[in-house]
């Protein structure tokens, strides 16, 4: 156990740095998105349904890689806030199909603008080659940890 502390260098461990960056980026995005009534936790649903697609709660949970109860809570909040609506699934009476409301659809453009600006802010000082390399390395890392959704 004595040698393990030598390897604990949080400021040089990619996994810790990536986690720190992800949290910082999410906090910044949430602060800007709060004004329009959206949060980063809703992105998987917004992205999955952005083109008028209708999906079940189960399908959304799978896409977002979260447990069904977590997705149920998220969808309940989104429904309360007028971002989604549900209708009976004609193929399965026990299930409903979820889609974005017109209100949510109207927020997609401002969300894209906010996220694009956040991306630009995060990459200040990076040249195109560095950005391309970063993206390539992040895709490889995501593949290595078993979550190929990107």
Secondary structure of 95-116 in HEC code, one letter for each residue: EEEEEECHHHHHHHHHHHHHHH
pLDDT over threshold 70, residue 1 = no
Helix 102-122, helix 14-33: angle, nearest 10: 130
How many whole angstroms separate alpha carbon 58 and alpha carbon 85? 15
- Mean pLDDT value of segment 116-122: 94
Q: What pLDDT is stored for residue 33 in this prediction?
A: 94
Task: Kindly report, residue by residue over 47-91, the tens digit of the pLDDT.
Answer: 999 999 999 999 999 998 899 999 999 999 999 999 999 999 888
- Mean pLDDT value of segment 2-8: 61
Domain boundaries in the chain?
13-144
Fold of 13-144: Arc Repressor Mutant, subunit A (1.10.10)
Count CB neighbours of 83 within 10 A.
Answer: 21
pLDDT over threshold 50, residue 2 = no
Under DSSP, is residue 56 helix (H, G, I), strand (E, B) or coil?
A: coil
> Over the chain, what is the mean pLDDT?
90
pLDDT over threshold 90, residue 132 = yes
Q: What pLDDT is stored for residue 11 in this prediction?
A: 81
């Amino acid at each position: 156990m004595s040698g393990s502390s030598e390897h604990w260098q949080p400021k040089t461990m990619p996994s810790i740095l990536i986690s720190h960056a992800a949290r910082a980026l999410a906090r910044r995005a949430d602060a800007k998105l709060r004004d329009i009534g959206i949060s980063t936790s809703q992105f998987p649903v917004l992205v999955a349904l952005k083109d008028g697609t209708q999906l079940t709660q189960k399908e959304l949970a799978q896409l977002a890689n979260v447990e069904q109860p977590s997705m149920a809570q998220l969808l309940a909040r989104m429904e309360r806030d007028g971002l989604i609506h549900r209708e009976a699934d004609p193929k399965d009476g026990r299930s409903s199909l979820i889609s974005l409301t017109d209100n949510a659809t109207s927020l997609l453009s401002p969300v894209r603008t906010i996220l694009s600006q956040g991306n630009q802010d995060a990459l200040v000082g990076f040249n195109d080659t560095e950005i391309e390399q970063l993206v390539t390395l992040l895709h490889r890392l995501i593949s290595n940890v078993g979550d190929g959704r990107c």
